[in-house]
Structure 1
């Protein structure tokens, strides 16, 4: 039996959720049901798996079990970049990825983008949910400029479209005079993550059923099928897809292999768009890993800016308001440096969200035992990687040896982490060094 030792808990309100009307959750599971496939987790991975399963066999009975309310967990705390080109949080340098690895990653990411784009077209979602606007990488130092040029040369070698912008060019986009250069990549989708995941969840119809506020307490193999239990119900299913990222460890899986890191964001109150020049909707990742992500979002009540920076390790999979406030103080400094003309604009929302990393930056993926499939450990870039993992897990669960399944099966297994207390000491020191290297970026 796999028994949950703890359940997801979110203290702070994500700005993406705060901008939406309150959700009326789907009913919780309160009965005993049968399903062909049970999916644990209704985030990027879980809902993408459900979508792909339905494409492969529209008659499949699929039960999606979400511990909380859709959009309020890790997915709704994402910054919304569904990227198509490799850029890993864990990498030292944009240019350290071989062409073979880069092309593999591009295949994964563009398959994820195709799934999202197909749904947007089918259901008529507007740009307020999914915007194919591309992204920028931005620098504020000579070191950052060097990284951008290095990465641009790699993209040129791969034959990928891009555009380098000088200081004046990137200022015309962002309205900030701090940036010294930029690199535009047109293939990234930007989503309002909470709105997107709600829209995906609400697109399903029978025989796919979503149960919210239905945390899985345990699951076990019984007579050739799986029995999953929640507080008030149970599911008998032939297959399980585990799509709860770091919380797979709460069931005792991947023990000693998942590193739990939180990243933090702040979102401003709305301001008059005339106060900041440049485009009204743009998104920028930092030239240096562990730097500062910035996103401008337009709205009927004005524009907002999102600042994402700061990383911290938490083995217990939880943070508190003190951690959020501490990161927020850093965000305020970053915001003031980039947008000095908006000094009286306050932050309305602050939050943190979890990532599950592995020591060798590979997913926790595959068939753990007959009928039990995992699509966990996104290693950052959750919108792209988790979506891709969900697609591949669905195909694997259906017995397909697809290109996506082959790529995921080609990864080596996650390496074991050092024992405590060396793990905590090393993880915290490593994050501090990486943030120090990123400097003002």
Structure 2
């Protein structure tokens, strides 16, 4: 699919997203199963060069290796393994679009989104099982909660949609919420069976370390620029990679390479992870050994009780730029104490931001950008399953392997145009103010 988007000027964009802090998920990842960093050295020649070693890049590389056995594939990332967006998510793999925080689409497009999520889940299950990837996989469903009147109305609307599709759920009483999640701040909640919880850094490390031998993975190797030609030349510091085909799985920094700047924008969300908790503190977070909850409200808190005896709390939002570390910590601690006042303290051993690529209508950027240049971007807060499935489909599109799911993907991957600055910031600020007002209702 040839992109209709016009390349954007590089402006002040950087070739990669630098973060103020490290991912807690990545820090608690044990050495076993870790994809150790290998920096690019010397000039290279390959059939394919994939920029971005997150879930999209890893899936694209794996499928290309299946479709082009024996061909050299280079997978690059500017950051250490697991320190990109893939290692900064909350680890929820929800396989129905109705239960996502942003579930605006209906009809055939919603059916396609669910098909994409379920395809991603199926392929990840097959890959992790086949390669023995230990990523703390828990197929236990998740909670969906609300804390406001507006959220209660949205939750009722969600349940109506689930009823219309015959999808099962269990509505929670106030007593259930307290017993199972340890919080009185949530006023309404349901349990849904359609979710697998994982340790995302362990998952991406496992996926990278089990790629076929023909895939060469280089991390801490940012691409400074790409000179288009036949072949294309990727400049990585003093080194060069010549590749017949370039695939950009760079998410928020896709505009640096001249594509998608008028179709996507960058937002940051924030997470904190506690130190290991003792038995008394763990008991305050509900009866189960592990659970996860996502909010109905767009600015609500995502929470997870972990088998590693830690607690994950995710909330906060900023546009374009990451908040300073001190401000991140303040926001997280204030909201954590509000949701779980019974905890002995509200400190985090790790806190971090994660960048998300968003489009105006929720559609991904997918397909051909120029001659032998392809791109996949705009996870729209559904990174693990969606980007895995889309990465696989992008590889199949390059090879010419057709399917109904690929046809639907090309049909529905039409991100809307976003106005330039300052109109873009004005629109984001307006929507953010509206969401904050709803959170006070």
TM-score above 0.5: yes
Alpha carbons of structure 1 residues 418 and 340: separation in structure 2 relative to 1, 3 Å: same
TM superposition shift of 1:142? 4.2
Written as runs of structure 1 = structure 2, the 5 A alignment for 1:22-421 is: 25-86=36-97, 91=102, 94=103, 96-126=104-134, 128=136, 130-223=137-230, 225-275=231-281, 276=284, 277-299=286-308, 303-314=309-320, 318-320=321-323, 322=324, 324-411=325-412, 413-421=414-422
Give the corresponding residue for 2:4: none
CA RMSD of aligned residues (A): 2.4
Give the paired residue count: 427
Task: Give, in whole Å, the separation in 2 of the partners of 1:169 and 1:100.
Answer: 35
Cα distance, 1:235 vs structure 2: 2.3
Within 1, Cα distance between the matches of 2:438 and 2:322?
24
Structure 2 counterpart SS, 1:121: helix
Structure 2 unpaired stretches of 5+: 1-6
Pick which of 348-357 and 410-419 moved more. Answer: 410-419
Cα distance in 2, alignment partners of residues 3 and 226 from structure 1 = 19
Task: Indicate if the aligned counterparts of 1:89 and 1:290 stay in contact, CA closer than 8 A.
Answer: no
Distance 1:415 1:179, change over 3 A: closer
Report Cα offsets for 1:340-385 as digits up to 9, x if no partner: 2204242111111111111222111111123211111112222222
Report SS of the residue matched to 1:222.
coil
1:24–1:190 distance in 2 versus 1, CA, 3 Å: closer
Shift of 1:242: 0.9
Q: Is the 8 A contact 2:171 2:189 kept in 1?
A: yes
User: TM-score, normalization: structure 1?
Assistant: 0.90
Higher mean C-alpha displacement, 264-273 vs 231-240: 231-240
Q: Over residues 61-113 of structure 1, what are the superposed CA-to-partner deviations in whole Å (9 max), with x where a residue is unaligned?
A: 2110111211011111111112101158784xx5x532323211110001111
Measured at CA, do residues 163 and 59 of structure 1 come closer, stay the same or move farther in structure 2, by a change above 3 Å? farther
1:428 aligns with 2:434: no
Distance of aligned partners of 1:43 and 1:305 in 2 relative to their CA distance in 1, 3 Å threshold: same
Secondary structure at 1:182 match in 2: strand
Deviation at residue 43 of structure 1 after TM alignment:
0.4
Q: TM-score, normalised by structure 2?
A: 0.90
